Amino acid sequence: MTGLSDLNVGTLGTRLVNTAAGIAGEAWTNIKSVVAHELRVLAGRIRDIAEAALSGEVSKTGARTLLRVARNNLAATIAMTSVLLLAAAQKLINAVLGEVKNFVNGAIGFKLL
Amino acid sequence: MTNIKRIAVCLLGLVLVSCGPIRLLPEYDPEIEKGLNKYHVETLQFMAEMERTGAPATGTYNGQPISKYYQDTSASLTNLVVRAEAQGGRTPCSKLGNASDTVLSFIAETSVIDDAIDAIDPNTQISVNQNESDCSSIVLRAVLANQRELEGFHRSEGSLRGPGAQIFRELISDGVRVALITENAKK
């Protein structure tokens, strides 16, 4: 039977660190990959705009408009990164709190939390 | 740490755990995802038709003045921005400096964006929108701003044909994809 003696803070700490490291590592890898992809795409678009402007396929006014759109997308990508980071932090916090809940309920032997 | 402090920390932890999941972001809104998909399909169809006909901004589309298409899409996107703002994140995007730094460090590594911009206009600089809105709203505002730019582009270029229109179409799709990734991250 479990009891209060099972509430080992050291064990809980290790479990929390492992949970956090797993989620944070995976989330950060995903975020990096998504953001890097979007920035590479954006860089390619800006190169296309520059080439089209230099070759005269797009007017200078048109090229400036396209560049403004590319900059809107850059601002959106930065804002998206912030949301992805917050979403990862949210997942991390809730996973750690869930781990605490499981640990305490498991140690006590009934659903306290 | 004194025993009183330890107990206080434990109690705080228990209160947090018992309060249920913590939310740092506004709730996922399926209407925003649906609205973005609808806008994207409509715009791709519109641009394909403009490519085919070469109609000017003063022409017609689906039996209606083209200006009506621009008005309708702007109205729908404005509604999505308002929805996002109403659900509202409480943290202004400008306060989340770390993410901006992260993205800007990627850019610094590649430098290709600066090179390309310099090829057009050496005085152009990238500036990050320091808006007080939350980040989700800013992403949708970018999609709306792009749509408004499309009408101006249509007028200045005379039609939506050729390489410029193709780049514009891709940029619009990029903006919508970023907005969809942002909304889906809240699930």
Higher-confidence residue of A22 and B123: namely: A22
Residue labelled with tokens 């944070």? A24
Contact present, B170 and B27 (Cβ < 8 Å): no
Q: How many residues does chain B have?
A: 187
Residue B126 pLDDT level (bands cut at 50, 70, 90): very low
Which pTM value belongs to this model? 0.80
pLDDT greater than 80 at residue A83: yes
Q: What local confidence, expressed as pLDDT, does residue B113 receive? A: 47
Cβ contact, residue pair A45, B170, below 8 Å = yes
B126 touches chain A (CB under 8 A): yes
Domain boundaries, chain B: 25-184
Distance between CA atoms of residues A45 and A107, nearest Å: 57
Contacts of B133 (CB under 8 A, 6+ apart): B85, B92, B93, B141
Residue B128 pLDDT level (bands cut at 50, 70, 90): very low
Selected residues 161-180 of chain B with any CB under 8 Å from a CB in chain A: 162-164, 167-168, 170-172, 174-175, 177-179
Choose the weakest-confidence range: A21-30, A39-48, B62-71.
A21-30
Choose the weakest-confidence range: A67-71, B99-103, B125-129.
B125-129
Token pair for B145: 């701003």
Cβ contact, residue pair A64, B126, below 8 Å = no
